[in-house]
Amino acid sequence: MNSLPALLQKAQETRVAIGHFNISDMVLLKAVFAAAQEVKVPVLVGLSEGERDFVGTRQVAALVKSLREEFDFPIFLNADHTHSLAKGMEAAKAGFDSIVFDLSALPFEENVRQTRQAVEALKSIHPGMLVEGEIGDIGTGSEIHDKSPDLSKGLSTPQEAKQFVDSTGVDILAPAVGNMHGMLKSMVHGETRKHLDIERIAAIKQAAGVFLTLHGGSGTADEDLRKAIAAGINIVHINTELRVAWRHGLEQGLAKHPDEVVPYKILPPAVDAVREVVASRLRLFNGERTAAQGA
């Protein structure tokens, strides 16, 4: 089976993106894996520090490894938004395939200095681990926000992207290009959509020359995601859309069986609701429209 770096390279050449979906329980993991099997494309599952604390860092590594081996399927594991080297080392030791080392809240020079140290330290423990660095401001919290934060001052420039990549040695860069963590209520209801700065993505790609990740993909207009991938995005993160589907599915399961106490009888609508969202996003990231057109 292909390694994650080889699959990213292949995605880059064919102008598609690998979907990254956050999980924090078995319902989400089952749903993401089922969707990837259905669409027949590689997939990344990610857990932030909070999500890892809940599931268990070594435990989720064992779960994902068992799926990869038993089904001979390209499912990979990412340590999402990791803010300290200690937490990063924990994930490296557990065998995570990649890590998002996120010190974007620090001043740029400090972010560069500590990210460079982390790249060295993490690769000395786990040489095959891909390290992603973060620049700019895309807000925090994959949740439903009441109002939109002002992120206009935190947009990344091609110059700082190049400087960051050259000085840190990261394999992957996550820039701020109009994307935002979480969703507004109006986005959940489909009344508004996020829009991306496509020209900025293309300029950053050219300057930085590494794989690019788009965080906060939930609620983004389909057309903007297609254009972002064509402009050089290789990984797209979706979390909040899954959390919304998880909750709706769970509520449906409970409403359908008001007196039931057996989890595996209550939870299937939650698995189905999340699976549908993931499958539809995977189709989009893998250029289904192009395939359908026979291009």
- Does 226 bind Zn ion (CB under 5 A)? Our answer is no
* Size of site (CB under 5 A) for Zn ion: 1
- Does 243 bind Zn ion (CB under 5 A)? Our answer is no
Question: For residue 60, what are the contacts with CB-CB under 8 A and spacing of at least 6?
Answer: 23, 29, 47, 52, 77
Instruction: Tell me the C-alpha to C-alpha distance, in Å, between residue 19 and each of 44, 74, 153, 257, 294.
Output: 6, 12, 28, 33, 22
| Contact between 95 and 125 (Cβ < 8 Å) | no
Task: Identify the residue whose tokens are 């939930």.
Answer: 218
Could you tell me which of 34, 81, 50 has the C-alpha nearest to residue 278?
Answer: 34
- Member of 52, 215, 275, 281 binding Zn ion (CB under 5 A): 215
| Contact between 205 and 234 (Cβ < 8 Å) | no
Residue in 72, 80, 166, 224 annotated catalytic: 80
C-beta closer to Zn ion: residue 48 or 168:
48
272 is annotated as an active-site residue: no
Task: Identify the residue whose tokens are 């698995």.
Answer: 271
Q: Which position's Cβ is nearest Zn ion?
A: 215
Minimum distance of Zn ion from residue 144's CB (angstroms):
16
Stretch that binds Zn ion, among 38-46, 85-93, 213-221, 279-287 (CB under 5 A): 213-221
C-beta closer to Zn ion: residue 237 or 283:
237
C-beta closer to Zn ion: residue 200 or 215:
215
Stretch that binds Zn ion, among 145-153, 183-191, 209-217, 250-258 (CB under 5 A): 209-217
> Does an H or E element contain 212, and which?
strand 211-214
Binding interface with Zn ion (CB under 5 A): 215
Active-site residues: which are they? 80
